[in-house]
Chain A
Amino acid sequence: MEVLLCVSDLATYFETEGKTVCAVDGVSFEIKRGETLGLVGESGCGKSVTALSIIRLIPTPPGKIVRGSVLFDGEDLLKLKESAMRRIRGNKISIIFQEPMTSLNPVFRVGHQIAEAAVLHRKISWNEAKELTVEMLARVEIPAPKERYYDYPHQMSGGMKQRAIIAMALICNPSLLIADEPTTALDVTIGAQILRLLRDLQSQLKMAILFITHDLGVVAEMAHRVAVMYAGKIVETADTLTLFERPLHPYTRALLASVPHLGKKTKRLFVIPGEVPDPLRFPSGCRFHPRCSSASDICRSRLPELRQYEDSHYVSCFNISSEAKEIPR
């Protein structure tokens, strides 16, 4: 499959009061056409900043993309002019956010806000855009879409709003959808409906999804491949099945160990000791070493690079157990 998005060595720093926060620090990954990549990690590990950097919505200042490239369809988005970037946002790449309650403008009709994107990018009249919007509202399974077109955001429930936001994101048929924790703010049943909807829409529209979440269950359900992020870096990437069956990085292993299992009797759930490091003062060497049970001297002094094991299984760790064989470059 053809590569749609290729992020390499992306780094986004925030300058606050003379200090530099390395929110994203050398992140590389690829997404193929029509594929879903799950990006997982704890809060504050840089997932959302990665997403915002890709479509260049980092608030600048204080944020700044300091290096790297984001090749989308062979074009480096980081080199585009702002006006050219605007033609891509909401058109070829769309993003949906975590907060459906506040993501819509409260004083404009929901339908109008969705149609606005179509009028902008597809160069069609408001009447045509309205028809298209009603069609999209039906597609995201909002009942009575014609009437709902005229609703204001406060007249919709959270799940309904998130559906409307998905309709807005997809109205121009993007080839990449970035979903930044789209179900976190919703209750579990509504969240599950939204996930099913996203999967259905993906197979209909053949778009790629960068799915950002901290929920491993959601990743297992949604993603073809997974990238695990820790302290501004990707520590392991593999296809979903491999990652869940043979996790190699101690952080991934620990994450999986802290997920409760149905039917398994556990007295106490496993907890990763320590805290997510302060992005102002990352530990030397491997950023996970203070919390890692198998850390050795080299971990404290040197930063491990992503190395390939199996087919598409990349891990950045010095202490991979011997049964996993590194594939030399």
Chain B
Amino acid sequence: MSAYIIRRLLYLVPTVLGVCLITFLLFNVVTTGEAIAKQRLGQHATQEQIESYLKTHGYDKPLLIRFFINLKDLLTFNFGRSEVTHQKITTMLWNGMWPSLSLMVPAFFFTLFVAISIALFTALYRNTFLDRSTVVLCIIGMSVPFLAYIILGQYILGYKLKYFPVTGYEWGLGVFKFLILPGLIYTAASLGSDVRFYRTVVLDEINQDYVRTARAKGLSPNTILFKHILKNAMIPIITRVVVALPFLYMGSLLLEDFYGIPGLGAMALNAIDGNDFAVIKAITFIGAILYVLANLAGDILYALVDPRVEFK
């Protein structure tokens, strides 16, 4: 097991280098220094202004040198300062992370729990009226745009019925009342596709031969579903969860923007709006690294769930 983890950790080295390279190419070759400078300084910037921007941001050095400086900065999490607020970017990321996590982590795991429960339930009653109507509801749920959930939720539950504050955030435990509504909106919007996915996963397993063996053994439908089927279904479930994990840290662009939550999602949106290239670069890099780490976590979880995954 530990050998498997170590081997898997070694794979991180080339992957992270690749992430650094792509981030570098995005901000140095795909978009050139000149383009960034013009974007920052406006169309009427003089040649001198542009040149001094390029110099202060290190764009005057040769590409290869720039790559290594960039590599060092990324790997030491030295992202510099925001070009708009002039705050240290690491501080901004740290401060933005908590609101994002406090919104997304409970909402995500609550949704996961509810979706898997409904999926198992519908699988148990497959091909009945209950199952079919759930599927129809799921498709309706999936067809409504995310924005509609946000605006309707805010308007009806927040503004009209006044169950929740319409928008806002505070540090400390009082934050709870601000997070319930966006959290529920997240659940409502994700439930349709999640239930459909997990239902398919469970139905795939239900027709396997080992289920027939378990029934022939005299096991009850509950034991078969929650023990034999669920453990097999964990593999696709892990895959889906792992892919979603990095987005918990990054927050939700729309939810944070609409509900006034000062998380990383809102920060990313502001950075894009304000041509804050240093912040965009930092968020791109962190997002990619988290993705890599989540995949690592997924691979380790696979090995824990499925004995067929080789430890060697």
Contact = CB atoms under 8 A, between A and B. Distances in A.
A175 B220 CA distance: 21
A99 B218 contact: no
A57 interface: yes
A129 interface: no
Interface stretch (B3-11, B66-74, B141-149, B205-213): B205-213
Interface stretch (A1-9, A38-46, A113-121): A113-121
Select the residue from B209, B210, B217, B232 with max chain A CB neighbours within 10 A.
B217
Interface stretch (A86-94, A131-139, A269-277): A86-94
A223 interface: no
Which 7 residue pairs are nearest across A and B when measured between Cβ atoms?
A: A90-B218, A89-B218, A90-B217, A102-B209, A105-B210, A152-B307, A86-B218
B218 A105 contact: no
Given A89-B215, A107-B306, 16 more contacts: A57-B212, A86-B219, A89-B218, A90-B216, A90-B218, A91-B218, A99-B209, A103-B210, A104-B210, A105-B213, A106-B210, A117-B218, A120-B218, A152-B308, A165-B213, A168-B213
Contacts, number: 70
A64 interface: no
Given A86-B220, A90-B218, A154-B308, A103 B212 contact: yes
Given A105-B213, A108-B228, A87 B305 contact: no
B219 A116 contact: yes
Contacts of B231: 105, 107-108
A97 interface: yes
B127 interface: yes
A87 B218 CA distance: 6
B214 interface: yes
A246 to B, nearest CB: 37
A95 interface: yes
A55 interface: yes
23 contacts: A86-B218, A87-B218, A90-B216, A90-B219, A91-B218, A97-B213, A97-B216, A102-B209, A103-B213, A104-B210, A105-B213, A105-B228, A105-B231, A106-B308, A116-B219, A117-B218, A120-B217, A152-B307, A152-B308, A154-B307, A154-B308, A165-B213, A169-B216
A57 B228 CA distance: 17
A152 B232 CA distance: 14
Interface of A: 55, 57, 61, 86-91, 94-95, 97, 99, 102-108, 113, 116-117, 120-121, 152, 154, 165, 168-169
Interface of B: 127, 208-210, 212-220, 228, 231-232, 305-308
Contacts of A121: 218
Nearest to B211: A105
B236 to A, nearest CB: 13
Nearest to A94: B216
Contacts of A117: 217-218
Contacts of B218: 86-91, 117, 120-121
Chain B binding surface, main DSSP class: helix
Contacts of B306: 106-107
B127 A89 contact: no
Contacts of A90: 216-219
Contacts of A99: 209
A24 B88 CA distance: 77
Given A61-B127, A106-B306, A120 B212 contact: no
A102 B219 contact: no
A278 B91 CA distance: 74
Given A105-B210, A105-B232, A95 B216 contact: yes
B209 to A, nearest CB: 4
Nearest to B229: A105
Nearest to B305: A107
Nearest to A99: B209
Contact of A120 (B208, B219, B232): B219
Contacts of A107: 231-232, 305-307
A103 B209 contact: yes
Contacts of A55: 216
Nearest to B128: A61
A89 B232 CA distance: 23
A104 B232 contact: no
Contacts of B212: 57, 97, 103
B208 to A, nearest CB: 7
A86 B307 CA distance: 29
A88 B215 CA distance: 11
Contacts of B217: 89-90, 116-117, 120, 168
